[in-house]
Chains A and B, each alone.
Chain A
Amino acid sequence: MRVKLKLFASLRPLLAGAKNGEILVDLDAGATPQTLIERFALPREQVHLILVNGFYVAPDAAGERALEEGDEVAMWPPVAGG
């Protein structure tokens, strides 16, 4: 299956060559956000906020949420605002 990985803020430079921090990724069935974190060697402590299609996935559940074809996975380091 193919999903889109979108990295933001200080995670963005970790996707070398990707335009606007986005890249399409082919994954095996059963892959999770954790699979993406490992494949792109993202520093685990820097991945604070994970959204799959805009829905929140708790960082400690990153290995449990099975991804599906066409999913969009967005990740941020620690952020806040107001």
Chain B
Amino acid sequence: MAWQRKILRVNLTEGTCTPEPLNMEWAAQYLGQRGLATKYFVEEVDATVDPLSPDNKMIMATGPLTGTIASTGGRYSVITKGPLTGAIACSNSGGYFGAEMKFAGWDMIIFEGKADAPVYLYLEDDEAELLSADAIWGKTTWDTEAWIHTQHQDPQIRISSIGPAGENGVTYACIVNDLHRAAGRSGVGTVMGSKNLKAVAIRGTQGVRTVKDPSRFMEATTAAKKVLADNAVTGQGLPTYGTQVLMNVINETGALPTRNHRDVQFEGAGKISGEAMHEPRASDGKPNLVTNAACFACTIACGRVSRLDKNHFTVKNKPEYWGASGGLEYENAWALGAATGTDDLEALTYANFLCNAYGMDPITFGTTLGAAMELKEIGALDGVETGDDLVFGSAQALADLVEKTGKGEGFGVELGLGSKLLCDKYGHPDLSMSVKGQEFPAYDSRGIQGMGLAYATSNRGACHLRGYTVASEVLGIPVKTDPHATEGKAELVKAFQDATAAFDSAGICLFTSFAWTLADVAPQVDAACEGEWSVENLGELGERIWNLEREFNLRAGLTAKDDTLPKRLLTEAAKTGPAKGLVNKLGEMLPEYYQLRGWSEDGVPTDETLKRLGL
């Protein structure tokens, strides 16, 4: 088995760290990471818990393939109840932290309670201790990592930490590892901050020596890597242009949400695209992009590393941001750019750096800023001190307010609420472009109909990583479907959701799914883990996880009424492009989706469905 068969339970209230054996019965049913940690979570936590109370728990979990030679086997997830949504939260990150947790001998860490004063967890193989974080409370994630490396005199320690945003209660704080990878969405960093837990620092030296059949595992992972290398998307497209190449694709498709979803195409898309990142700047002759980068064991290497123009207004007097760091991914560039109407690539990159350093989700930050700009424009913020520049397209407002939000200053405190609470507070709840309290990512569901259903039914609120039908509807992976049609989308969404849950539970990156199907994953998991892990079993695993999450959300108080979209997307037609005249036709898809899921008309899993899935 590739599980380490060991978890660490950290009681922050008591200050104790206790090893426990992994529940292998649950591992056989839920595999690892997203699935297995969710099983632990729902068994241990009352669904009605206040997300920011000590009674909420937070689990950092790896999958069985994490830390192995499987391509992209470096993933870990954070599972908790999210403050942004009140729903199950599960945020996935790459980098090197997850593999290090496995190397130290742990499958997952369960945090419970709340520390009296700021602490960080230090793990060195079997040794675990909680140490004072007084010296780093208030510091950025970047300074936190540097301090821990210095403190322990070990630059190879891998660290996940929160920045000031997580300490200040920004509802969408994230947990950053390896400086610029992040468990980004749903406010998992806010939960961590509420527990006075600043960081988790890990040094592991044991490797993963528990693969069930090493010879067969070598064969399976080698074959799967060849699939990635031979595939045009994972072998060429993603390494060269990263996810940011989608900026022009989605804009041409007429599904690029712009200015708080008022428009579906952005006239400045070209200036903030992947292509623009390659272009030499007029100012200094250097491109924004420095290189691509890979997470642990990844053979795709889609990551972006960028360096700012030192003379750009955002960093002229801030040399701490002159170094190369995590560059713009498509989602970040969209949220900080098109969603706010801003086409200054350097300003977007600066804002992205600050989101990493201060520890907040750039998707929710950018979309919340876009909502604030619209509130300002219609007069809803009259009398509120927002600064003069709060208008669509203002790079100055973006630069000022990303820092203020991270630091918890001025109007940044309001932006830290997220768009739902902000728009509720100022009397325009319909202007929050969110589902279940979480803001949309970078695809307008008027132009990509299936994504509307995927957003409405996502268990963690609006999200592209719970059912990425864009692959089929726009890119033709694995088969092309019409983005404007609703027929067949219920089945498509369900298939993507279930497969994604399986990928997320194995310890690998979802981006492999541009080339791999479950038929490529199954031989790797089966060679690594005890039990029989066929394509069918993995498919059923995904469905089981989806229903487990759904059940938790229903117990938390969510209902079918929450499976919906903002009025704007259902009633205001797209103004331009191929989707001109279209709204999202969610009502044509949702009943069929419930039926296919084996749920009642009220969106509740039937007893028969639960029994079939062993729930």
Please tell me which stretch of A23-31, A34-42, A50-58 contacts chain B, meaning at least 4 of its Cβ atoms lie within 8 angstroms of it: A50-58
User: Which residues in B have their C-beta under 8 angstroms from that of A20?
Assistant: 270
Assess A49 versus B475: contact at CB under 8 Å? Given A9-B275, A20-B270, A82-B465.
yes
Q: State whether B578 touches A80 (Cβ < 8 A).
A: no
Q: State whether B241 touches A79 (Cβ < 8 A).
A: yes
User: Which residues in A have their C-beta under 8 angstroms from that of B477?
Assistant: 80
| Cα-based distance from A58 to B479 in the complex (angstroms) | 11
Number of interface residues of B (CB under 8 A): 41
Task: Name the distance in Å between B180's Cβ and chain A's nearest Cβ.
Answer: 17
Q: State whether A82 touches B236 (Cβ < 8 A).
A: no
User: Which residues in B have their C-beta under 8 angstroms from that of A6?
Assistant: 252
Most B Cβ at <10 Å: residue of A54, A78, A79: A79
Any B CB within 8 A of the CB of A81? yes
Q: Which residue of chain A lies nearest to B246 when distances are taken between CB atoms in the complex? A: A81
Q: Which residue of chain A lies nearest to B235 when distances are taken between CB atoms in the complex? A: A78
Assess A49 versus B578: contact at CB under 8 Å? Given A78-B232, A79-B233, A81-B243.
no
| Cα-based distance from A79 to B510 in the complex (angstroms) | 15
Q: State whether A54 touches B254 (Cβ < 8 A).
A: yes
| Cα-based distance from A79 to B330 in the complex (angstroms) | 12
Q: State whether A76 touches B245 (Cβ < 8 A).
A: yes
| Cα-based distance from A77 to B464 in the complex (angstroms) | 23
Interface residues of B in 437-481 (CB under 8 A from A): 464-465, 468, 470-471, 474-477, 480
Task: Name the distance in Å between A44's Cβ and chain B's nearest Cβ.
Answer: 12
Q: State whether A78 touches B252 (Cβ < 8 A).
A: no
Q: State whether A80 touches B275 (Cβ < 8 A).
A: no
Q: State whether A9 touches B274 (Cβ < 8 A).
A: yes
Any A CB within 8 A of the CB of B535? no
Q: State whether A77 touches B465 (Cβ < 8 A).
A: no
| Cα-based distance from A50 to B519 in the complex (angstroms) | 29
| Cα-based distance from A43 to B331 in the complex (angstroms) | 30
Chain A 1-35 interface 0/1 with B at a Cβ cutoff of 8 Å (1 = within): 00000101110100000001100000000000000
Assess A79 versus B245: contact at CB under 8 Å? Given A9-B274, A54-B578, A55-B578.
yes
Q: State whether B275 touches A78 (Cβ < 8 A).
A: no
User: Which residues in B have their C-beta under 8 angstroms from that of A45?
Assistant: 232
User: Which residues in B have their C-beta under 8 angstroms from that of A53?
Assistant: 578
Any B CB within 8 A of the CB of A74? yes
Q: State whether B330 touches A82 (Cβ < 8 A).
A: yes
User: Which residues in A have their C-beta under 8 angstroms from that of B238?
Assistant: 79-81
Q: State whether A82 touches B578 (Cβ < 8 A).
A: no
Assess A78 versus B578: contact at CB under 8 Å? Given A49-B249, A54-B254, A58-B480.
no
| Cα-based distance from A20 to B240 in the complex (angstroms) | 18
Q: State whether B475 touches A80 (Cβ < 8 A).
A: yes
Assess A56 versus B480: contact at CB under 8 Å? Given A12-B275, A20-B270.
yes
Q: Which residue of chain A lies nearest to B234 when distances are taken between CB atoms in the complex? A: A80
Any A CB within 8 A of the CB of B577? yes
User: Which residues in B have their C-beta under 8 angstroms from that of A82?
Assistant: 243, 330-331, 464-465, 468, 470, 510-511
Any A CB within 8 A of the CB of B514? yes
| Cα-based distance from A58 to B237 in the complex (angstroms) | 18
Any B CB within 8 A of the CB of A48? yes
User: Which residues in B have their C-beta under 8 angstroms from that of A78?
Assistant: 231-233, 236-237
Task: Name the distance in Å between A66's Cβ and chain B's nearest Cβ.
Answer: 18
Task: Name the distance in Å between B237's Cβ and chain A's nearest Cβ.
Answer: 4
Task: Name the distance in Å between B455's Cβ and chain A's nearest Cβ.
Answer: 14
Interface residues of B in 191-250 (CB under 8 A from A): 231-234, 236-238, 240-246, 248-249
Q: State whether A9 touches B253 (Cβ < 8 A).
A: no
| Cα-based distance from A72 to B252 in the complex (angstroms) | 10
User: Which residues in A have their C-beta under 8 angstroms from that of B329?
Assistant: 81
| Cα-based distance from A6 to B483 in the complex (angstroms) | 21
Q: Which residue of chain A lies nearest to B576 when distances are taken between CB atoms in the complex? A: A54
Q: State whether B475 touches A79 (Cβ < 8 A).
A: yes
Most B Cβ at <10 Å: residue of A45, A54, A74: A54
User: Which residues in B have their C-beta under 8 angstroms from that of A58?
Assistant: 476, 480
Contact of A76 among B249, B470, B514, B577 (CB under 8 A): B249
| Cα-based distance from A1 to B240 in the complex (angstroms) | 35
- The contact sample of 13 A-B pairs, CB cut-off 8 A, is A8-B248, A21-B275, A48-B232, A49-B476, A51-B249, A56-B480, A79-B246, A79-B475, A80-B243, A80-B475, A80-B514, A81-B243, A82-B464
Name 15 extra pairs, CB < 8 A, besides A54-B253, A80-B237.
Answer: A6-B252, A8-B249, A8-B275, A9-B275, A10-B240, A49-B475, A49-B476, A56-B476, A74-B252, A77-B236, A78-B236, A79-B241, A81-B249, A82-B331, A82-B464
CB-based closest 9 A-B pairs: A78-B232, A81-B243, A81-B246, A54-B578, A78-B237, A79-B237, A79-B245, A80-B233, A81-B330
Q: Which residues of B contact A (CB under 8 A)?
A: 231-234, 236-238, 240-246, 248-249, 252-254, 270, 274-275, 329-331, 464-465, 468, 470-471, 474-477, 480, 483, 510-511, 514, 577-578
